[in-house]
Amino acid sequence: MNNINYLSVIIPVLNEEENIDILISRLSRVLGQREICDRYEIIFVDDGSTDSTRGRVIEACERNDNIKAIFFRRNFGKSAALMAGFKEACGEVILTMDGDLQDEPTEIHKLVNKLNEGYDLVSGWKRTRNDSLEKVVASRIFNWIISRVLRLKLHDFNSGFKIYKSWTVKDIRLSGNLYRFLPVFVERQGGRVAEVPVTHNKRIHGISKYGLKRYLHGLFDLLTMIFLSSFLFRPMYFFGLAGLPLMGLGISGGFYLLVKHLFWLVTGDISYQLNSRPLLIIALGITGLGLSIFLFGLLAELILHVSSATTTPFFYSIEKTISKRQGSERG
């Protein structure tokens, strides 16, 4: 196994008070052996916990120089927590894992070995999931749909246990729950993506933070992803394609009516008169709709070109950061 020089482990946590200390001791045991990496940092991103998670993380930072922490002002979601972690990470390789002990630190080497085969992202595949039946079935369907629709062959997009070359995620922007689609973002950037089966422990302490709403959000996120992955840098290809035919249809209808209007002028037959035809309203409506969709496209192009020059918008707000190794406490 090729040693990683510096590994950053990012762990988003929301109300995981009973899991923090156990996780740190299991992780430190694995990473301290130096078989995986020469140096490491563990970055906890506290996503607005309301139990004693925050206190436990602060204590851990005081005890252990390898531990850093970011504290959000309130709950911003796992995407935001990961984004903040990616930004703070110093390692050339980044590992993410959940803070609920469902991912097994002793299996990190499986991800590392695969990464060393020349991949840029390796995702843990929870082949046997230790979750409720409802979650397992929904997850299977979700994964099947995503891998078909987005044409990326992975069994488990939802896994929090992943390893990345840091270039793939350093400045990534993730709204909603788009963290599930990280492999798609990486693949679309030209990264090589693979997966390895990992075990999945049962959650012992604390509860899952995602309820039934996740399915609806998952659907919206999928639609966003389809749009983003196909048209992110060329919104006009989408809006133009939808707007132009509608405009064409509406204008042809209008032209047809105009010609008929000329018949009225010649024959005097009132049924040809432009303003007596209901089709006129339909033609105008369709032209207007087509034109609006087309202009949406131009607007999207405008936003794209302006926003690429600006910094990350308000995805999250950091209250405090603890980073002993660099001797700093900010916030």
From 10, 14, 121, 150, residue interacting with ligand UDP (rule: CB under 6 A): 14
Contact region with ligand UDP (CB under 6 A), list: 8-16, 218-226, 261-269, 286-294: 8-16
CB of 328 to ligand UDP, least distance (A): 23
The pair of structure tokens assigned to 59 is 């204590």
- Counting DSSP H helices and E strands in the chain, the numbers are 9, 9
CB of 125 to Mg ion, least distance (A): 15
CB of 130 to Mg ion, least distance (A): 9
Side-chain-facing half-sphere of 113: CA atoms under 13 Å: 10
Answer yes or no whether residue 98 interacts with ligand UDP by CB under 6 A. yes
Of residues 240 through 299, those in contact with ligand UDP by CB under 6 A are none
From 17, 41, 88, 100, residue interacting with ligand UDP (rule: CB under 6 A): 100
CB of 279 to Mg ion, least distance (A): 58
Q: Name the helix (H) or strand (E) containing 76.
A: none
CB of 127 to ligand UDP, least distance (A): 15
# chain residues binding ligand UDP, by CB under 6 A:
17
Say how many C-beta atoms besides its own lie within 10 A of residue 179's C-beta. Answer: 25
From 4, 9, 10, 16, residue interacting with ligand UDP (rule: CB under 6 A): 16
Q: State which residue, 206 or 297, has the beta carbon closest to Mg ion.
A: 206
Among ligand UDP, Mg ion, none, partner that 13 touches (CB below 5 to 8 angstroms by kind): ligand UDP
d(CA 232, CA 227): 7
Answer yes or no whether residue 75 interacts with ligand UDP by CB under 6 A. yes
Q: Between helices 133-149 and 213-231, what is the axis angle to 10°?
A: 10
Q: How many residues does the chain have?
A: 331
H-only helix segments in the chain:
17-32, 53-63, 78-88, 108-115, 133-149, 182-188, 213-231, 235-267, 279-307
Contact region with ligand UDP (CB under 6 A), list: 184-192, 204-212, 215-223, 285-293: 204-212
CA-closest candidate to residue 195, choices 242, 126, 136, 262: 126
Q: State which residue, 286 or 322, has the beta carbon closest to ligand UDP.
A: 322
Contact region with ligand UDP (CB under 6 A), list: 70-78, 163-171, 235-243, 262-270: 70-78
The full DSSP string for 40-60 is EEEEEEE-S--STHHHHHHHH
Q: Using CB atoms within 10 A of its CB, is residue 324 exposed (0-12), middle (13-18) or buried (19+)?
A: middle
Answer yes or no whether residue 160 interacts with ligand UDP by CB under 6 A. yes
Residue in the block written with tokens 């309130």: 74
Among Mg ion, ligand UDP, none, partner that 78 touches (CB below 5 to 8 angstroms by kind): ligand UDP
The pair of structure tokens assigned to 166 is 């840091």
Q: State which residue, 159 or 287, has the beta carbon closest to Mg ion.
A: 159
How far is C-alpha 218 from the geometric centre of its chain's CA atoms? 11
CB of 224 closer than 8 Å to CB of 178: yes
Q: State which residue, 48 or 290, has the beta carbon closest to ligand UDP.
A: 48
Interacting residue ranges for ligand UDP, rule: CB under 6 A: 12-14, 16, 47, 75, 77-78, 81, 98-100, 102, 160, 208-210
